[in-house]
Amino acid sequence: MVSQSLGIPSTGIPSLGITFLPAFAPERLREVARAADSAGLDELWLWEDCFRHGGLVTASAALAWTSRITVGVGLLPVPLRNIGVAAMELASLHRLFPDRVLAGIGHGVQSWMGQVGARVDSPMTLLSDYELVLRDLLAGDEVTFDGAYLHVDAVKLEWPPTVNVPLLIGGEGPRSLGFAARSGDGVLLTAGLGEAEIGAACDLVRAEAAGAGKPMPPVVVPLITATGAGAADRVAAEVARWKKSDRDDVGVAGDAEEIAATILRLAALGVTSVAVQPTEDELDLPGLCRVVGERVRPILTES
């Protein structure tokens, strides 16, 4: 197999991406994906929030509409997705679009899992087992596994990926972040965190990885962002909607220089990929892609 690269950028500048929120209608994705691609962004991040977009369906469309950008799905909630289906769909995406797919897994929002009868008593047990089995399936192995929640009997993909698939893990609390640091090829942090909270999460990831004898893995962070008239009020409203933090260092509102300065501070904390997250009332998503790709990136490059 050829190994797909997923690592810390050698330039010290984080990868730059845009987040297409599931609050946006799916039919808006095409213009955003193309704008992100043409603006030179590195990544387009999609979410699989219940009960909005299907993460792998939207990823396949975005990949087909673009030519170079990496499309990330952050994240797939493992109680919701049968592991055989997840493995088949991820394998197909990686074969159709080699080296352009990133996917993360996590235990999902437990209230949503309960709504569809998929909630388990120990989300971490399921996530740990799921990660091991999914890796083996994507490697082309025949897998038999009988766990507390996961049961696989002599399953083998007929068309496994031709690349070594990186698997990111999403985390929020210390246990989830620790597991992501020890087992994942990258860590997905939740949105709505302040810079100090992101720094603390990166410190935990660094320590947990070191304890497992690993270098610090790549860390992907969504960054609530708005620019133009009323940007500060829009970011404040978005932060309040998330209810994740009461700090005053969450997100960024301002021009390209202010956005670049925030991204550089995140890089100094250990962040390797910044997924700019629009506010839910953002009307000009293609315009935000151009601001990040054509105005913010040159500032970062010159810093």
DSSP 38-55: HTT-SEEEE---TTS--H
> What residues of the chain score a pLDDT lower than 50?
1-3
In tens, the pLDDT along 59-75 reads: 999 999 999 999 999 99
Percentage helix, strand, coil for the chain under 3-state DSSP, each rounded to 5: 45, 20, 35
pLDDT at residue number 2: 36
pLDDT for the residue 9: 67
Rounded Cα distance between 233 and 215, Å, is: 39
pLDDT at 7: 56
Summarize pLDDT for 6-31 with one digit per residue, the tens: 656 656 899 999 999 999 999 999 99
Looking at residue 140, its amino acid is G
Q: Cα separation of 90 and 4, whole Å?
A: 14
DSSP state for residue 28 in the 8-state scheme = G
Query: Whose CA is closest to 259, among 250, 267, 251, 247?
Result: 251
The CATH number of 2-302 is 3.20.20.30
Pair 75, 106: CB distance under 8 Å:
yes
**Beta-carbon contacts of residue 299 (< 8 Å; ≥ 6 apart):** 256, 257, 260
Residue owning tokens 């929020």: 172
Residue labelled with tokens 């235990």: 107
Identify whether the C-beta of residue 202 lies closer than 8 Å to the C-beta of residue 271: yes
| Residues 254, 236 contacting (CB under 8 angstroms) | no
Q: What is the pLDDT of residue 63?
A: 98
pLDDT on residue 1: 39
